[in-house]
Structure 1
Amino acid sequence: MFFLSDMLNKKLNLPKPSEALPGRARAIPTASRHHVLKKPLKGPYPEGFETAMFGLGCFWGAERLFWQLDGVWVTAVGYAGGITPNPTYQETCTGLTGHAEVVLVVYDPKIVSYAGLLKLFWESHDPTQGMRQGNDIGTTYRSAIYTLSDAQLQAARASRDAYETALRGAGHGKITTEIVPAPEFYFAEADHQQYLAKNPYGYCNLKGTGIPCIPAAISA
């Protein structure tokens, strides 16, 4: 019983650098092209397009939400926000790399705005749960927005404040979403890229709160 409790505590707390797994110097292999959109995962991306990064629980279902959105050019899943360089899926699941499961989104801002991406993000999961998302428990499933510009950072923080007001008005708790400038993104293994397109009946645990996010409150 002590062993199980100890393991759970490790998965609910981010590791210290001295506790993190060592990882590796070389990137792990991944797919070259998007299984659905047929675009190159690692670019080059079209000039004028922008990139965003979100964590909202298991990245299988999260990625599908974004690749279906009009204006999104390509998506990829990976790991970010941790310590271990070039981690594997198995390593991140231990909670000893510090990474969150995230989705990289490349989009055309003339078709979909960053505010539109934030609206989808907030409404598609419960951002008040800390180191979990539903039955998925651990630091890898934490809610996170990793921003790639000052404008994104300001918009993300403003949207959080506006959405938290709406959530509290409906009886929900404080938003725990991590919002920081984007750390390094590590592409996940090929099997995990566009997982639900390859496995239509695969696992997806995403569930929003049912509280709408008002786009007018998110300027970007």
Structure 2
Amino acid sequence: MFPFLNKKTDLPRPEQALPGRSAPMDGIGEHFVNRRPLARPYPAHLERALFGMGCFWGAERRFWQEEGVWVTAVGYAGGFTPNPTYDEVCSGMTGHNEVVQVVFDPAEVPYDRLLQLFWESHDPTQGMRQGNDVGTQYRSGIYVHSADQRLQAEASRERYQYALSAAGRGEITTEILDAPPFYFAEPYHQQYLAKNPNGYCGLGGTGVVLA
């Protein structure tokens, strides 16, 4: 329908995106590892963070292992199609990114620590890919829920760019945007690497530390 669009690496325009559906994903349930509910409402003292950093299976595992993280979930965000399916996201015609939602206790783990995990756990210089995973759904992104999160995210990007440049690495391509709607991925994707310990995920860092 749009022969000029490279579905792997070109984001569609809103009018090109798949129509999606009005109903949200069913059967989200609880976290496979800690048995807490994946969906809201969450305890009032908790905050949310949202990151895209390549394969969401490995990204989620990075965060659920961190002390102070209350629950994690994988899903889709940053595109145009409401309530997309995994196959639709992989088609390149939704605009969505594979993301992990992190619900955390800021008294136990500050947002800046989550940013450190984000930067050090993937390569934020690769554009519309992460390792062997190629496509718009693998782009690097930080989706902020407050002005304070944005300030911290932008400051950390500057610090990490300095560290990457000193190590001879390229320019950061990470998008930092206000948090868009988050759509839960299918239940089989949730905590996938806990359910499938030998599952493949191409997520990998640069080896450069955020100072």
In structure 2, distance between residues paired with 1:127 and 1:113: 21
1:8 Cα deviation after fit:
8.2
Amino acid in the other structure paired with 1:149: S
In structure 2, distance between residues paired with 1:129 and 1:15: 19
1:7 Cα deviation after fit:
8.9
* Aligned residue runs from structure 1 range 187-206, under 5 A: 187-206=184-203
3-state SS in 2 of match to 1:84: coil
Q: What's 2:122 paired with?
A: 125
In structure 2, distance between residues paired with 1:14 and 1:91: 13
C-alpha contact 2:128 2:136 (8 A) present in aligned 1: yes
Q: What's 1:171 paired with?
A: 168
Q: What's 1:77 paired with?
A: 74
In structure 2, distance between residues paired with 1:200 and 1:31: 21
Q: What do residues 138-173 of structure 1 show as CA deviations (whole Å, max 9, x unaligned)?
A: 000000000000000110011001100110111111
Query: Number of paired residues?
Result: 209
In structure 1, distance between residues paired with 2:196 and 2:181: 28
1:31 and 2:28 correspond: yes
Percent of pairs with identical residues: 64
Q: What do residues 78-126 of structure 1 show as CA deviations (whole Å, max 9, x unaligned)?
A: 0000000000000000110000000000001111000000000000000
- Structure 1 stretches (4+) deviating beyond 3 angstroms? none
Amino acid in the other structure paired with 2:97: A
In structure 2, distance between residues paired with 1:7 and 1:35: 42
Partner of residue 155 from structure 2, selected from 147, 155, 158: 158
Return 5+ residue gaps in structure 2 as ranges. none
1:44 Cα deviation after fit:
2.1
Partner of residue 103 from structure 2, selected from 103, 106, 124: 106
1:61 and 2:58 correspond: yes
C-alpha contact 1:58 1:204 (8 A) present in aligned 2: yes
Q: What's 1:217 paired with?
A: none
C-alpha contact 1:53 1:147 (8 A) present in aligned 2: yes
3-state SS in 1 of match to 2:52: strand
Amino acid in the other structure paired with 1:98: G
Q: What do residues 31-56 of structure 1 show as CA deviations (whole Å, max 9, x unaligned)?
A: 21001010000132112111000010
Distance of aligned partners of 1:175 and 1:196 in 2 relative to their CA distance in 1, 3 Å threshold: same
3-state SS in 2 of match to 1:10: coil
Q: What's 2:138 paired with?
A: 141
TM-score norm. by structure 1 comes to 0.93
Partner of residue 204 from structure 2, selected from 203, 207, 212: 207
* Aligned residue runs from structure 1 range 2-41, under 5 A: 9-41=6-38
C-alpha contact 2:28 2:184 (8 A) present in aligned 1: no
In structure 1, distance between residues paired with 2:29 and 2:142: 25
Amino acid in the other structure paired with 1:134: G
TM-score norm. by structure 2 comes to 0.97
In structure 1, distance between residues paired with 2:27 and 2:48: 19
C-alpha contact 1:11 1:96 (8 A) present in aligned 2: no
Compute the RMSD of aligned alpha carbons.
1.2
Partner of residue 183 from structure 1, selected from 180, 185, 190: 180
1:21 Cα deviation after fit:
0.6
